[in-house]
Amino acid sequence: MEFSGDTLIEIRGLKKTYREGTVETAALRGIDLSVRKGEYLGVVGKSGAGKTTLLNMIAGLDNPTEGEITVGGERVDKMNEVKKAVWRGRNVGFIFQSFQLLPGISLLDNVMLPMDFCGKLNRHSAEKAAELLRMVGLIDHIHKVPSEISGGQQQRVAIARALANDPSLLLADEPTGRLDTVTSEVVFEIFEQVVSRGTTMIIVSHDHSLAERTRRLIRLTDGIIS
């Protein structure tokens, strides 16, 4: 599926409440948000503001308590788990703060994992994965395993992996939270390249300097857009 139209993401009345025993915690308390195709959006807020929850909802990694999430004309909140997994693999790239690379396989194989998961693995996959690693400056390390490279390099591998299936939507959860200033600059330069190609990107962070990087910024406070 290719996303079409000016609006890529439409969120209406989004709420998420977590329950543990008799205790309820409202992570999102009524979010309305539209994101255009090709937009570069930053979401800032303190820890616990609901940033990660919002990303997880958009990606279909968690289910809302109330509200609607439409991405590329698809009602994500109405999909079953199997359909969401297939849809996400084909359309969404997700970059985690903790990298989440598989430790026992090479960087090249890590980047090819999403292709394998979606049934896109073919004789050109290794070449494509190598080109993505070249884009993030790691072509000389493709046969190493994650433990043999630095944290900043691992994050760049995670970016390459997130781009493996040419997603229309790229989501990044605190992507520079564990990186030094110099490495963070490199990562943001890569993001600029990705967005310049027409990919829609949403980054969440507690760092308000994100406003200088993205083209639109929203703030979450206690589960609402403030």
Residue 220 lies in a domain: yes
Residue 27 lies in a domain: no
167: confidence class by pLDDT, cuts 50, 70, 90 = very high
Residue 2 lies in a domain: no
φ, ψ dihedrals at 24, nearest 5°: -115, 135
Residue 33 lies in a domain: no
Q: Domain count for the chain, please give it.
A: 1
Residue 18 lies in a domain: no
Query: 185 lies in which domain range?
Result: 39-52+79-225
- d(CA 53, CA 28) in angstroms, rounded, equals 8
**Cβ proximity of 107 and 144 under 8 Å:** yes
Residue 200 lies in a domain: yes
The CATH number for 202's domain is 3.40.50.300
Residue 193 lies in a domain: yes
Residue 65 lies in a domain: no
Full DSSP string of 33-72:
EEEETT-EEEEE--TTSSHHHHHHHHHTSS--SEEEEEET
Question: What does the pLDDT look like over 90-149, one tens digit per residue?
Answer: 999 999 888 899 999 999 999 999 999 988 899 999 999 999 999 999 999 999 999 999
